Structure 1
């Protein structure tokens, strides 16, 4: 997975969708989330006794890390090693979360230029990325998105993709514990049918650009990548 995605739904919508208490103090929609940006996540709070919608800095910083800047290098955690690597294993065992998203971006090189693509559900429904959270030594909530090998035609764009969890897997993921192989199984190939691969404008390559125009097709539209 590349280091960009979109998450634009309001705290009210996300709270309702994930049956979570909102503790975010307001969310700012972003069509161009970049590493270290604040992002919404859903986690279980023992103090609240259930799910909360919270805000975290994208890029996990383990509690033992001395340099908070290390989070910029840990925006993603590979499903193949997330249960064993020291930086991620404690969070995988006890501090898992859901990261709401509208879609994510990847780039494909076409000669001397790169074409940006946006992967998003065709029906506009939200996605829930499997995530991990940690509280840094500076008491800053941070998170990482779990990635897995790209499935089907998505592998033609990038060899990695977020681990996407359907609603019937949310409770087990958030509960802590469990069998890693079961928790980290990829989405069924049939689910790929609902993911659209949309060519978008090159403006998304600049983190300072943000807005709904980033997910609209360019003009003229390039030849699409064939998924199947």
Structure 2
């Protein structure tokens, strides 16, 4: 799954890769981003608009669901295109969530040991996401997950779906609505690029910001 991540790279480092032109506000570094907060995301609302960097609420609840309907933070890649809750967003409202890495807790240890998982070269990564309009008119999102691959399997059986650079533009393209075409154009990064290390249990306390000590090896 993906329940906590970090984004601290300077805005130009990741925005250029995603073709971002319009920016609401350059994001401040956050080393411990929890669900139920506004997160940095990239979306392309229409064919006539370039990719746009703004914020989405990390919690997905379509306005038609209303009331106390679930607000998942993740959507499984195996069912996101067919689930009644997600399929409209998968078809028309896909987004990217830039990150430098994410946190996962090793269930084999007592207490559970947090790890920071990222690229070996420490380059920013892009989680595949979907978004929807919520009942209050704001936009909320979920990060898509897949079975863990590479070194991430050491810690958890799921991981965020991380797209390679060639997949960013087609993932955002609102005119691409066919599942099979998307499947052929969109790919995850090579599993061999992934690494991880144990970090301080200070990350157990969601802060929304934190500092670099949260990702230093414990």
Q: TM-score, normalised by structure 2?
A: 0.88
Match of 1:125 in 2: 123
| SS class of match (2:112) | strand
CA distance in 2, matches of 1:160, 1:184: 22
What is the deviation of 1:14? 3.8
Match of 2:95 in 1: 97
What is the deviation of 1:12? 4.2
Alignment of 1:51-66 (within 5 A): 51-66=51-66
Match of 2:35 in 1: 35
Match of 1:108 in 2: 106
| SS class of match (1:113) | coil
Match of 2:170 in 1: 172
What is the deviation of 1:21? 2.5
**The 10-residue stretch of structure 1 (178-187 or 48-57) with the greater mean CA deviation from structure 2:** 178-187
Alignment RMSD: 2.3
Contact (CA 8 Å) 1:75, 1:145: kept in 2 or not?
yes
CA distance in 1, matches of 2:162, 2:123: 13
In structure 1, list runs of 5 or more residues that go unmatched.
Answer: 219-228
Contact (CA 8 Å) 2:134, 2:140: kept in 1 or not?
yes
What is the deviation of 1:10? 3.9
Match of 2:148 among 120, 140, 150: 150
CA distance in 1, matches of 2:44, 2:81: 19
Q: How many residues align?
A: 214
What is the deviation of 1:70? 3.7
CA distance in 1, matches of 2:59, 2:30: 16
Q: What whole-Å deviation, never above 9, does each CA across 1:76-109 have from its counterpart, x for those lacking one?
A: 0000110111211110010001110100111113
CA distance in 2, matches of 1:117, 1:99: 20
CA distance in 2, matches of 1:207, 1:192: 28
What is the deviation of 1:25? 2.8
**The 10-residue stretch of structure 1 (173-182 or 101-110) with the greater mean CA deviation from structure 2:** 173-182
CA distance in 1, matches of 2:109, 2:191: 28
CA distance in 1, matches of 2:53, 2:119: 22
What is the deviation of 1:195? 1.5
What is the deviation of 1:125? 0.6
